[in-house]
C-alpha cells in the first residue's frame, strides 16, 4: 500500500533499479525521487511544448550542446559552464544569454542531464 498522498505506478525492473540508485545518491526515497523527476518533466513539457517542434538536438560535446532552431533556421551552440556549488550553467551563443529557449531546451534533454551526472 503506498504512503498517504502517493499512488502506485508500475515500471520495469531495470528502470526501478536505476531509480533506486539515483535516489540513494541523492539521499531520497525512490517515491520522492520519481515524484520530483516527473514534476520537472511535466513542467518542461508544459512550458516548452511550443518550442519542441522547432528545436532539435544536433550533437552533444564535452562542454557544448548544438541545437538546430528550425524557426530561425540557425544552428545554435549552447555552452556548458561551471557555476557556484558545482552546478552547470548554460550559455547561448546566438542569444548571448544564459536563459532562453535554447538553454532551457539543452538543459531539459535527458542526454545532457545524464552526461552532466558523470
pLDDT of residue 13 exceeding 80: yes
Residue 76's pLDDT is what?
96
Residue 51's pLDDT is what?
63
Residue 7 within any structural domain of the chain? no
What is the count of structural domains for the chain? 2
Residue 50's pLDDT is what?
67
Task: Count other C-beta atoms under 10 Å from residue 72's C-beta.
Answer: 13
Residue 82 within any structural domain of the chain? yes
- Statement to judge: residues 32 and 66 lie in one domain: no
Residue 113's pLDDT is what?
78
pTM (whole model) above 0.75: no
- Statement to judge: residues 27 and 76 lie in one domain: no
- The b/e string for 50-71 (b: 16+ C-beta within 10 A; e otherwise) is eeeeebeeeebeeebbebbbee
Amino acid at each position: 500500500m503506498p504512503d498517504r498522498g502517493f499512488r502506485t505506478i508500475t515500471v520495469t525492473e531495470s528502470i526501478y533499479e536505476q531509480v533506486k540508485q539515483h535516489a540513494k545518491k541523492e539521499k531520497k526515497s525512490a517515491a520522492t525521487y520519481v515524484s520530483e523527476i516527473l514534476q520537472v518533466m511535466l513542467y518542461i513539457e508544459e512550458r516548452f511544448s511550443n518550442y519542441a517542434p522547432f528545436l532539435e538536438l544536433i550533437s552533444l560535446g564535452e562542454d557544448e550542446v548544438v541545437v538546430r532552431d528550425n524557426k530561425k533556421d540557425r544552428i545554435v551552440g549552447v555552452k556548458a559552464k561551471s557555476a557556484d556549488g558545482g552546478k552547470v550553467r548554460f550559455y547561448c551563443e546566438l542569444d548571448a544569454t544564459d536563459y532562453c529557449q535554447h538553454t532551457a531546451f539543452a538543459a531539459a534533454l535527458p542526454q545532457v542531464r545524464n552526461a552532466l551526472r558523470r
